[in-house]
Amino acid sequence: MSRPFKRILLKLSGEALMGDGAYGIDVAAVDRLAGEVKAARDAGFELCLVIGGGNIFRGLAAAAKGFERATGDYMGMLATIMNALAVQNGLERAGVDTRVQSAIPMASVCEPYIRRRAQRHLEKGRTVIFAAGVGSPFFTTDTGAALRAAEMGCDALFKGTSVDGIYDSDPKKNASAKRYDRISFADVLGKDLKVMDASAVALCRDNNIPIVVFNIREHGNLARVLAGEGTATIVTNEA
Ligand code: UDP
């Protein structure tokens, strides 16, 4: 059964751009992700993208080593702009019309975030990449993704990860971990399941935006999950 979504926000962590590397941006990985997005576009879905920055810099990790947190967070946000430009480049090579909008204005590099303008891009069939999270330190791109999903009227937030859904414990460490097909926001928060930041989950709960967790590393999986096939966990208010 096809899922009742038309416009979605796809959130990827910066690590999705690393490929098999341990840091930075791998062009082949970017091209593969661009192919996933193109297949979803070609199937008629409208897409917004938020890419993290963890493949380059994370403010919290730097703060643990003595760095000032806010400065580290601004550096992390700048990293997300680099990632957004890399993905824009991959998408345009794949023939997908794309705009980058940043929550930190950077006039000669990309557009500033303007909600109505982003809406217009989507109406014209462009894919919009939202960079720099919410534009403030002490947040993450998960929360940025939930916020933009609400502002853009997205029908769902798709979180692409390296596992095929939400488990009751880490499936990479526990062979008998159980995967949920559906789960409620209340259970995700109550059981402290590490799906997305709690603030992002709460924002989706309050705005009734389902979160779909799926494996982005499997070829063709975004289009498959959007078509209601493939394996994923869906988080809603009712589950
Ligand atoms: N960040 C921030 N405010 C935001 C979004 C991101 O300060 O609204 C910073 C924060 O330091 C974060 C880094 O940017 O660690 C990279 O983002 P994130 O950790 O969400 O990336 P991901 O884990 O998804 O790759």
**pLDDT one-digit tens code per residue, 176-189:** 999 999 999 999 99
> What was the pLDDT predicted at 2?
53
Q: Compute the distance from residue 230 Cα to the ligand 1 centre, in Å.
A: 29
- Give me the tens of pLDDT residue by residue for the chain, a chain 239 residues long: 456 899 999 999 999 999 999 999 999 999 999 999 999 999 999 999 999 999 999 999 999 999 999 999 999 999 999 999 999 999 999 999 999 999 999 999 999 999 999 999 999 999 999 999 999 999 999 999 999 999 999 999 999 999 999 999 999 899 999 999 999 999 999 999 989 999 999 999 999 999 999 999 999 999 999 999 989 999 999 87
* pLDDT tens string 66-120: 999 999 999 999 999 999 999 999 999 999 999 999 999 999 999 999 999 999 9
Which protein residue has the closest C-alpha to ligand 1 atom 15? Answer: 58
pLDDT for the residue 239: 73
What's this model's pTM, rounded to 2 decimal places?
0.97
Q: Is the CB of 76 under 6 A from ligand 1?
A: yes
- Per-residue confidence (pLDDT) for residue 3, from 0 to 100: 62
Out of 80, 104, 147, give the residue to mutate to test ligand 1, the one with the largest number of ligand atoms within 8 Å of its CB: 80
> For the residues of the chain, what is the DSSP string, one character each?
---S-SEEEEEE-GGGGSTTSSSS--HHHHHHHHHHHHHHHHTT-EEEEEE--TTT--HHHHHHTT--HHHHHHHHHHHHHHHHHHHHHHHHHTT--EEEEESS--TTTSEEP-HHHHHHHHHTT-EEEEESTTSSTT--HHHHHHHHHHHTT-SEEEEEESSSSEESS-TTT-TT--EESEEEHHHHHHTT--SS-HHHHHHHHHTT--EEEEETTSTTHHHHHHTT-S-EEEEES--
Q: Quick one: which atom of ligand 1 is closest to the CA of 15?
A: 25
